[in-house]
């Protein structure tokens, strides 16, 4: 038997599918329950409303992004490899979650709770990048006088905008995105 947390995750994953297919207004709790293989009443045992469920999807997605980003960083030995991994992960995540990202941008009313959560999640992601910069500087991969906070913002902003451009504005297959080019630009400016 699934734990409460596992059941909640199953419902969230089903809801992601339904919201992606039908949008916020078209998504129905009955359909989410059917996709999750449970009764509609069970969905309401975990989430009091469609709005709350949608906000939990956003939280779940942001947390999945943070965990995947950390794993991408951890798999790199050098700052170049870490940045390549981060760039690839950003593009892959955006591509795989495009429907939810678009939907989140359209939803006008988000609770204070989700705004606070999002702010904290962004701070946690920023901290991952800051630590990556600090370690690279300590290893001599960046110049010793590099301003770590500024470098962190440059990396986050550049990777974020580059990946959004390639995924949303100038869509390309993932294998055609030149991550090495963006990493080269970053490293030449930061060394």
pLDDT in tens, 37-85: 999 999 999 999 998 999 999 899 999 999 999 999 999 999 999 999 9
pLDDT in tens, 91-130: 999 888 888 877 777 666 678 888 899 899 999 999 999 9
Rounded Cα–Cα distance for residues 144 and 140 (Å):
7
pTM: 0.86
Supply the pLDDT for residue 191: 55
Q: Which domains does the chain have, with CATH numbers?
A: 1-48 (1.10.10.60), 51-190 (1.10.357.10)
Give 21's Cβ-side CA count (13 Å radius).
11
Assigned token pair, 138: 């300590």
Rounded Cα–Cα distance for residues 34 and 67 (Å):
29
Supply the pLDDT for residue 45: 93
Backbone angles phi, psi at 31, to 5 degrees: -70, -40
- Nearest Cα neighbor of 92 from 118, 120, 64 is 64
pLDDT in tens, 135-175: 999 999 999 999 999 999 999 999 999 988 888 888 888 88
């Amino acid at each position: 038997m699934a734990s409460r947390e596992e059941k909640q995750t199953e419902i969230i994953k089903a809801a992601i599918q339904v919201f992606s297919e039908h949008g916020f207004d078209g998504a129905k709790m009955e359909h989410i329950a059917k996709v999750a293989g449970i009764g509609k009443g069970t969905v309401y045992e975990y989430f009091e409303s469609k709005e709350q469920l949608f906000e939990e999807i956003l939280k779940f997605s942001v947390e999945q992004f943070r965990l995947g980003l950390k794993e991408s960083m951890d798999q790199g030995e050098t700052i170049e490899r870490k940045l390549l991994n981060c760039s690839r992960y950003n593009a892959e995540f955006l591509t795989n979650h495009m429907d939810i990202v678009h939907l989140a941008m359209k939803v006008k009313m988000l609770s204070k709770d989700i705004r606070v959560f999002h702010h904290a999640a962004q701070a946690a992601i920023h901290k991952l990048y800051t630590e990556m910069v600090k370690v690279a500087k300590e290893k001599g991969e960046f110049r010793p006088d590099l301003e770590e906070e500024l470098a962190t913002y440059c990396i986050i902003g550049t990777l974020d905008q580059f990946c959004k451009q390639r995924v949303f504005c100038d869509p390309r297959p993932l294998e055609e995105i030149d991550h090495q080019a963006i990493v080269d630009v970053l490293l030449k400016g930061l060394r």
